[in-house]
Amino acid sequence: MDDVPPMPATKPKAPADTAVAETNEKPAADSDEKLLRLSFDRTPWRDVIEMLAEEANLDLHLIDDQVPTGTSSYTSNRTYTADGAISQMNRFLLPKGYTLLRSGDLLTVINLETAAPELLDALAEYVPLKDLDKRGDYDLVRCVFQLVKLAPEDAEEELGELVGPGRGIKILPKSRQLVITDIVANLRTIAEVLKEVDEPSSNRKPVDTFVMQNISANEILQIARPLIGLAEDEMSNDDISLSTDLLGTRIFAQGDGSKLAVLRSLIDELDVAPEDGPEVPEEARP
């Protein structure tokens, strides 16, 4: 795909070095969708989002004209479908308190700090639990969980920490079901927790929660992945499974004790207030 011509992510008058977006007009093997290659250099988030909507042929919906401030600098050699590209950019938007939510032909920019839960529930696509593995880790979707042994009220209390900030759990008491809207990675973790309650297994590991105070979960994971045997962008393998909350302030981890120990040690070392960090020698300061 090296011969794929670059296409501007902004209007023609935008600075040439602001952004580059490449597209592959050839459809995927089992789809008519074109593939996108993402490359941004200090590109305003509004331009990034408008480019994604345009390339994916989606209508863009801005609530009260709210978009993230700042810019995006991100380059990947991978190609993505439209949904894959949206999920990938959500990885960077979530720590900023925003998410992109696709509903049919509509792409909505959501400010998670101000959006009403009812809005997210209305826009988020319903996805059966069996289909979660087909979706990106950072897709915001809605799932229904059937409770077997756990009472609905107990489940709400037990799972509360696993649900991202600003997200609630809707209880359907008569049918003993929970309706939860969250990112796919968190919903997978919730499914595992409920499975452990219904089908206890001595081989199944508990879920550890790490709360970030001074650094984002994504920043920790960028450093941690190669140290715990995960590839770039990978969230799980045979030894460990990871997920983060919507705002990127918590990491949920399940798996091998030695991998968890490495992750815990790394968080202890990096998640410190600036004034508490290691002192930089005078000659090394800029």
pLDDT in tens, 70-88: 999 999 888 988 888 999 9
Say yes or no: domain 1-115 is CATH 3.55.50.30: yes
Q: What is the value of pTM for the model shown?
A: 0.63
| CA dihedral (147, 131, 49, 223) positive or negative | positive
Helix (H, G, I), strand (E, B) or coil at 110: strand
| CA separation for the pair 250, 197 (Å, rounded) | 23
The residue that leads in pLDDT, 260 or 119, is 260
CATH class of 208-272: alpha beta
Is the pLDDT confidence value at 249 over 80? yes
CB 107 within 8 A of CB 139: no
Question: What's the pLDDT score for residue 18?
Answer: 39
Is the pLDDT confidence value at 121 over 70? yes
Supply the angle between the helices 45-55 and 82-93 in degrees, to the nearest 10: 160
Question: What's the pLDDT score for residue 49?
Answer: 94
Q: Find the angle CA(228)-CA(233)-CA(238) to the nearest 5 degrees.
A: 45
Q: What confidence category does residue 130 fall into, taking pLDDT thresholds of 50, 70 and 90?
A: very high
274 secondary structure, DSSP code: G
CATH 3.30.1370.120 in the chain is located at 116-204, 208-272
Which CATH code for domain 116-204?
3.30.1370.120
Query: One-letter amino acid identity for 91?
Result: R
